[in-house]
Chain A
């Protein structure tokens, strides 16, 4: 029964109405595409990070580290002696600077040791260099580089290049070129491999290594061996699984992950709305045909089955199309942002996106399941209606908007539910509650948004009907009449805008909070770092001796030596910040959340610690608590003096005095010199002098206070720039969705346009009408989306962000984004209306007039 129907009716219908068929396919395919593209991009950004870490970790199952200063190589023997350990490999890992290019990862590898965990491969003769490394064991400058490294720089075997370390420049010679595999793939290929001993000498590391990789015996349980190693080595050492350890090295990753997740969820949402809408419209448009089927005796069941079978067919084709389209969007998007991504997350070198079975499943979910759902409602409606009623009511009427109170009530309920979730105490700690609140509000707007947009049109029409041009009156009428047809596409546009505004609210609020914090807590006049402008991320630590020299500069009052060390604490990669607290506290005003900072309190005396707000909130620390930190010299206890605001790390920050830090961690290096000048001294002059004297030697960055703050803003902006792409992509597709709705609408309106043309409407006026309609939808959706985004932004700050990172940010509205989004979305919407407008205007009047 169904098969012949499908053949005779469905296939013919689709073939005879290629534009309609195309629109439906496009709608569903766009839905799949946006879902897949954003998923691919977000996934790739996170995966690239993991790949890089995997590459460094190689086949190791566990890794042992001991803070920034590393561990003694002899520890490797103790590790090897632990039951269950089969292989150990000691490695040196340092970030150096390649002048004019940026950070390079230097790996010191023991080529003479057990190579079971290592995968460094070379071609032909070069392989011998690695297998029989005697030749370059004696050389302090011999290096091995990956193929991509050499190609990018136009270097070959025998060539020399320069890297800058804490103690100045080092010249290295390429002895061998290896394949881009294993560790050579880490850091996107920006890796230089040296013989461990040579690297140690070159970097003045004595016999210290950064970490020891551990391979397990075949029958050993990783958890058991981990516990055994922890017991054997004591609390000064961190034993971890390589990937988990790697994931902790990321800066800002938590916030980014949440934002990426929000974006991906939004994309799925937009995708679902688009796909649902496309199918729903296509079924409604055929209701007369289906009613005839019913009238001539086809059963309800058969009609529903027919519609569903069709939806499944369309869904399958659209899914395939959407997967391809999504892949294209992602690939081009990636090409557009690859630089930004690498700039910000230097461990992350994004290569190329990969379609996985998971994506196909998601694609089918959006492309097949949603169309089936979208078809079911109108199909059942037609099947259950008496054939007579179905035949007498026109297509336009099925789109006619019903009373607006129902969607308003539904939308209101969702909104209220969302807000109450956001205000429930659980939202502060449970991230799922936050997402629930967020989803609830977006869900509410599906009901709300279309009513509001068409309501705005109605109000505008009533309020200034006389003064409006006829084109605008007609356009506004179309908006009102097409409420139901455009509903879901308007809703997806609103959701897109709302999310952009939400992320912008996060960005603005974060920037504002960061500026307040920097202004009061980090007030130095000049900042000196090496390798990177900010000490927070991938800079090269410097020798403290430079501090004394800087202090001797004319006009410099005091120099503070700041160390920002990675520090694993209770399973979290914190930042442990140390400086001379006694004097520093006199100059800066920490933003105290709890407790009080005093001139000779525990921190100034070297016995206390300031805890960042997010860490304190998570682990429930309060002033007066005692905190025991694992150090290479054994556990050390500090008293919590105050809980303070600090945005150095989203994982949490501990601040202690420099003296106990240097002693406990045996680490005298300095990440940043903070200079306070005598009154009246020009920072720019001091800056010039430092650059002249030491700049080249240490690859220094010297920033005045103003530049430092600007740099901090810039860094935040770069992090958010990554999200811009995903947002633009989602908005772009949402706008395309509006475009397809307009095409369907002008198709159905052919005859009306014919009438208008007959009574003297010019083609330009027809174009004007469609573009006004498009522009109005865009502007109204942007307006409502902005309102909703402002609210969602607050919800994001006080729920998702608070629960995931623990920062309490002020709610700052991103006004400039409002203007940008409003104009951008309105304009894009008008552009999306160009094709339907042109199509509508070029229809021959007489044919249009006679169209059915």
Chain B
């Protein structure tokens, strides 16, 4: 689904998310309304427990709101079936996690190729694409390494390549630099933004690092599950 710069990429209306953990009831999001433009980078900041991850998961088709409406790339995810959500994630979204979450048994190349192969892209095409992306993130000489043989920064760069392999319209990252030192984190982020700009992709990034937020086009602050103005 191609997205023009300026078009609405993600639209949240009055989104609520309530966790019912037995007797304890947690309102992680209490009516979030938010619109993200395609081709822009948005940072969500806020104290721990303010609902940042929850918001990202809902935008990323990993979770559904308790109430409210989520429309991503024109698709209403509020009530979509699990199968739809899975397909949607595969075809339009790229994820980058704080703990990298690479598959330990696969090489860097295979990790990057995996989403493409699961989407039944041809082996040769997927490999070419993955090799190019790995070269682009500066890991041309590390393609055959396993995650355990890579440093934290290198692992996160592999994760970025993986997030981009199916050329998603939106890239979601949850504290991608949380497990990296400041310098490495900076490099990794610059890379992510560079790639996103090149391709005109929407970036939605959770962070508590003001430096990171500064690099984005826009910053949204959450407090107690609500957008702080």
A residues near B (Cβ < 8 Å) are 396, 466-467, 469-471, 473-474, 477-478, 480-481, 751-752, 755-763, 765, 845-846, 849
Instruction: Confirm or deny: B175 has a beta carbon within 8 angstroms of a beta carbon on chain A.
Output: no
Are A759 and B90 closer than 8 Å at their CB atoms? Answer: yes
Are A474 and B105 closer than 8 Å at their CB atoms? Answer: yes
B75 CB, min distance to chain A CBs, angstroms: 15
- Identify the closest chain A residue to B86 (Cβ): A762
| One of A470, A481, A849 near B62 (C-beta < 8 A) | A849
The 6 closest A-B pairs by CB, nearest first: A760-B90, A470-B117, A477-B105, A755-B101, A759-B115, A466-B123
Complex contacts, B105 vs chain A, CB 8 Å: 474, 477-478, 480-481
Please, how many angstroms separate the alpha-carbon atoms of A469 and B122 in the complex?
10
Are A760 and B115 closer than 8 Å at their CB atoms? Answer: yes
A318 CB, min distance to chain B CBs, angstroms: 32
Instruction: Confirm or deny: B37 has a beta carbon within 8 angstroms of a beta carbon on chain A.
Output: no
- Identify the closest chain B residue to A466 (Cβ): B123
Instruction: Confirm or deny: B87 has a beta carbon within 8 angstroms of a beta carbon on chain A.
Output: yes
Dominant secondary structure at the A interface: helix
Complex contacts, B89 vs chain A, CB 8 Å: 758-760
Are B95 and A396 closer than 8 Å at their CB atoms? Answer: no
Q: A466-B124, A760-B166, A763-B86 are in contact. List 7 more A-B contacts (CB 8 A).
A: A477-B106, A756-B118, A759-B95, A760-B91, A763-B83, A845-B62, A846-B57
Complex contacts, A752 vs chain B, CB 8 Å: 103-104
- 25 A-B pairs (CB sep. < 8 Å): A396-B104, A466-B124, A466-B127, A471-B118, A477-B105, A477-B106, A478-B105, A481-B105, A756-B114, A756-B118, A757-B86, A758-B62, A758-B101, A760-B115, A760-B119, A760-B166, A761-B86, A762-B83, A762-B118, A763-B82, A763-B86, A845-B62, A846-B62, A849-B97, A849-B101
Instruction: Confirm or deny: B63 has a beta carbon within 8 angstroms of a beta carbon on chain A.
Output: yes
Complex contacts, A765 vs chain B, CB 8 Å: 118
Please, how many angstroms separate the alpha-carbon atoms of A527 and B119 in the complex?
69
- Identify the closest chain A residue to B123 (Cβ): A466
- Identify the closest chain A residue to B116 (Cβ): A470
A840 CB, min distance to chain B CBs, angstroms: 14
Please, how many angstroms separate the alpha-carbon atoms of A759 and B164 in the complex?
11
Complex contacts, A471 vs chain B, CB 8 Å: 118
A62 CB, min distance to chain B CBs, angstroms: 72
Complex contacts, B95 vs chain A, CB 8 Å: 758-759
Complex contacts, A761 vs chain B, CB 8 Å: 86, 90, 118
Dominant secondary structure at the B interface: helix
Instruction: Confirm or deny: B110 has a beta carbon within 8 angstroms of a beta carbon on chain A.
Output: yes
Please, how many angstroms separate the alpha-carbon atoms of A467 and B124 in the complex?
9
- Identify the closest chain A residue to B106 (Cβ): A477
Instruction: Confirm or deny: B162 has a beta carbon within 8 angstroms of a beta carbon on chain A.
Output: yes
B84 CB, min distance to chain A CBs, angstroms: 11
A771 CB, min distance to chain B CBs, angstroms: 16
Please, how many angstroms separate the alpha-carbon atoms of A674 and B150 in the complex?
83
Are B127 and A759 closer than 8 Å at their CB atoms? Answer: no
Contact with A along B61-95 (1 / 0, CB 8 A): 01100000000000000000011001101110001
Are B90 and A755 closer than 8 Å at their CB atoms? Answer: no
Complex contacts, B83 vs chain A, CB 8 Å: 762-763
- Identify the closest chain B residue to A762 (Cβ): B86
Please, how many angstroms separate the alpha-carbon atoms of A470 and B109 in the complex?
13
A321 CB, min distance to chain B CBs, angstroms: 32
Complex contacts, A473 vs chain B, CB 8 Å: 106, 110, 117
Complex contacts, A757 vs chain B, CB 8 Å: 86
B68 CB, min distance to chain A CBs, angstroms: 18
- Identify the closest chain B residue to A465 (Cβ): B110
Are B103 and A474 closer than 8 Å at their CB atoms? Answer: yes
- Identify the closest chain B residue to A760 (Cβ): B90
- Identify the closest chain B residue to A845 (Cβ): B62
- Identify the closest chain B residue to A752 (Cβ): B103
Are B114 and A759 closer than 8 Å at their CB atoms? Answer: yes
Contact with A along B1-33 (1 / 0, CB 8 A): 000000000000000000000000000000000
Complex contacts, B90 vs chain A, CB 8 Å: 759-761
Give the contacts of B113-142 with A (CB-CB under 8 A).
113-115, 117-119, 123-124, 127
Are A755 and B103 closer than 8 Å at their CB atoms? Answer: yes
Complex contacts, B97 vs chain A, CB 8 Å: 755, 849
B85 CB, min distance to chain A CBs, angstroms: 8
- Identify the closest chain A residue to B83 (Cβ): A762
Please, how many angstroms separate the alpha-carbon atoms of A466 and B125 in the complex?
11
Complex contacts, B86 vs chain A, CB 8 Å: 757, 760-763
A555 CB, min distance to chain B CBs, angstroms: 73
Complex contacts, B104 vs chain A, CB 8 Å: 396, 481, 752
The listed residue with most A CB atoms (<10 A of its CB), out of B60, B105, B115, is: B105
A850 CB, min distance to chain B CBs, angstroms: 9
A426 CB, min distance to chain B CBs, angstroms: 48
Please, how many angstroms separate the alpha-carbon atoms of A760 and B163 in the complex?
11
Complex contacts, A466 vs chain B, CB 8 Å: 123-124, 127
- Identify the closest chain A residue to B90 (Cβ): A760
A500 CB, min distance to chain B CBs, angstroms: 32
| One of B62, B115, B117, B166 near A469 (C-beta < 8 A) | B117
Complex contacts, B101 vs chain A, CB 8 Å: 751, 755, 758, 849
Complex contacts, B113 vs chain A, CB 8 Å: 470
Complex contacts, A849 vs chain B, CB 8 Å: 62, 97, 101
B70 CB, min distance to chain A CBs, angstroms: 15
A762 CB, min distance to chain B CBs, angstroms: 5
Please, how many angstroms separate the alpha-carbon atoms of A760 and B85 in the complex?
9
Complex contacts, A759 vs chain B, CB 8 Å: 89-90, 95, 114-115, 118, 162
Complex contacts, A480 vs chain B, CB 8 Å: 105
Please, how many angstroms separate the alpha-carbon atoms of A477 and B90 in the complex?
22
Complex contacts, B63 vs chain A, CB 8 Å: 846
Please, how many angstroms separate the alpha-carbon atoms of A473 and B104 in the complex?
13
Please, how many angstroms separate the alpha-carbon atoms of A672 and B97 in the complex?
84
B162 CB, min distance to chain A CBs, angstroms: 7
- Identify the closest chain A residue to B100 (Cβ): A755
Complex contacts, A758 vs chain B, CB 8 Å: 60, 62, 89, 95, 101
Please, how many angstroms separate the alpha-carbon atoms of A763 and B90 in the complex?
13
Please, how many angstroms separate the alpha-carbon atoms of A474 and B105 in the complex?
8
The listed residue with most B CB atoms (<10 A of its CB), out of A471, A477, A765, A845, is: A845
Please, how many angstroms separate the alpha-carbon atoms of A845 and B110 in the complex?
22
Are A470 and B118 closer than 8 Å at their CB atoms? Answer: yes
Complex contacts, A760 vs chain B, CB 8 Å: 86-87, 89-91, 115, 118-119, 166
The listed residue with most A CB atoms (<10 A of its CB), out of B97, B117, B124, B127, is: B117
Contact with A along B27-71 (1 / 0, CB 8 A): 000000000000000000000000000000100101100000000
Please, how many angstroms separate the alpha-carbon atoms of A481 and B101 in the complex?
17
Complex contacts, A762 vs chain B, CB 8 Å: 83, 86-87, 118
Please, how many angstroms separate the alpha-carbon atoms of A638 and B162 in the complex?
89
Complex contacts, B124 vs chain A, CB 8 Å: 466
Please, how many angstroms separate the alpha-carbon atoms of A315 and B209 in the complex?
53
B117 CB, min distance to chain A CBs, angstroms: 4
Please, how many angstroms separate the alpha-carbon atoms of A752 and B114 in the complex?
13
The listed residue with most B CB atoms (<10 A of its CB), out of A466, A477, A759, is: A759
B31 CB, min distance to chain A CBs, angstroms: 21
A681 CB, min distance to chain B CBs, angstroms: 70
Complex contacts, B87 vs chain A, CB 8 Å: 760, 762
Please, how many angstroms separate the alpha-carbon atoms of A467 and B123 in the complex?
7
A479 CB, min distance to chain B CBs, angstroms: 10
Please, how many angstroms separate the alpha-carbon atoms of A595 and B15 in the complex?
99
Please, how many angstroms separate the alpha-carbon atoms of A845 and B89 in the complex?
12
- Identify the closest chain A residue to B63 (Cβ): A846
Please, how many angstroms separate the alpha-carbon atoms of A762 and B85 in the complex?
10
Please, how many angstroms separate the alpha-carbon atoms of A471 and B123 in the complex?
13
Complex contacts, B166 vs chain A, CB 8 Å: 760
- Identify the closest chain A residue to B105 (Cβ): A477
Please, how many angstroms separate the alpha-carbon atoms of A609 and B229 in the complex?
113
A83 CB, min distance to chain B CBs, angstroms: 83
Are A756 and B103 closer than 8 Å at their CB atoms? Answer: yes
- Identify the closest chain B residue to A765 (Cβ): B118
Please, how many angstroms separate the alpha-carbon atoms of A466 and B105 in the complex?
16
Complex contacts, A477 vs chain B, CB 8 Å: 103, 105-106
